[in-house]
Structures are given as structure tokens and as C-alpha cells.
Chains A and B, each alone.
Chain A
Amino acid sequence: MNVTVLSPDKEIFKGEAKSVKVPGTSGQFEVLENHAPIVSALSQGTVKISKPDGSDLTFSIRKGFIEVLYNEVALLVQGVTDN
């Protein structure tokens, strides 16, 4: 599935991913291939993107949103810090 991570100042990540773990407001959840369409607000926490080559990309966010639609995952995040 295709993942795009955008912050107001720049594009943080764009590309293929196996899974994305996000801190939803009603609990952490993970998006895998063929996930049902969802729009969710995100609270403060860590986002983890597992890339196809096995490596991970993790960063912290203050808040944000995620939208999943037909294997297109869009994350809009604010207050990103690497860790």
C-alpha cells in the first residue's frame, strides 16, 4: 500500500509500506494491506512505518489525522520530532 506522510512544512515520507502503526484517539491501531476505509484523529504518540525492505521509520507526533482509502494511506501530522 502507498503511504504519504505530510506535515504543514514538508513531506515527511512517501512510498510503499507493509504496515503503519498510529496512535488513534481511541487507541493505538495498525493499518495493514487492504484495510477498510477509515478516517481517524490521532493523538500524541509514536508513528511507526514498516517499509517493504524490513526497515522501520518511527517518529513522534503531537497530533494529526489518518485517512485510509483503497490502499492509499494519508497521514497529516503536526509537531513531528524524530526519535
Chain B
Amino acid sequence: MRAISQVFASLMLIAITLAVMALYVVNLSAYAGAKKGLIYEVFSYRRKQLLERLSLIYVFTNSTHVNLVVYNYGDVDIVVKTILLDNDNIPRENYTIINVYGEDLGDVISTSNRLAIISIKTGMSLTKGVHVVTLITESNNAFTFTFGV
């Protein structure tokens, strides 16, 4: 009786372990495949921040606007969330992002439209000297550029 119960216990142990492991492996592969979850999010968020790359190509101004020519040389699309000019927040209606053909890009400087012109309506000429513009992206990257007028 004792020997039978030990064999039975071993078989039960193996069966239950295999069942639980199979369930776990299925869930684990679904987790890895979905690319969701805390561990994935922590690393992928930081990776996306690193892959966002933006450079200032050129700046030209007129009496009412500052035009920044920027280039996305990273591997991911850049979504511009906020623009600060000399630490002042520029309202969304006061700037546009277009490509070199004049087409509106919305808020996205994509990898298929890397060269973009950000036209900021200042309403008046910028004072002579050095100015600072900061672009904050959806991934909370801040790209700060200085330029002279």
C-alpha cells in the first residue's frame, strides 16, 4: 500500500509539474511575443529614448517667425509634444511642422520624412543674441539647441 502511494505520488507530481510548466511556458511566450509587461516596458522605453535622435540643421528668422530646420537621424519616429523657446512654452497653435515640400507633418517627424521645418510664430523679431529652443518628445526626450540671431 505504501509503495503504491509513493509511485502514485511521483506520477501525480510529474503530471502536475508538467501541466503547470506547460501553462507557464505558454503564458511566458505570449508575454514575450506581445512585448508588453513591466520588464519589457522598462527596457523598451529607455531603448526608444536612445533611438530618438534629432539634429538642428539650420535656423532662419523673419519679423514674425523662427524657422528651425531639423533632421531625425534616429531609428524611430519623433513625436513633438512641447516646444520651449527661451524657456517659454509655445502654444500648439503657434507652431507648425512641415516638410521641405511644405506638407504639414502634424506632430510627427518620421523616419520616412526626416527633414522637417518647425516654424514658430513669435509675433515679433527675436532680439539679437543667443536663443535656446527645447523640443520635448512624447518619449520625454528633450532636445535643446542654441542658435544666434
Q: Do A and B come from one complex?
A: no
Residues of A near any B CB (own CB < 8 A): none
Residues of B near any A CB (own CB < 8 A): none
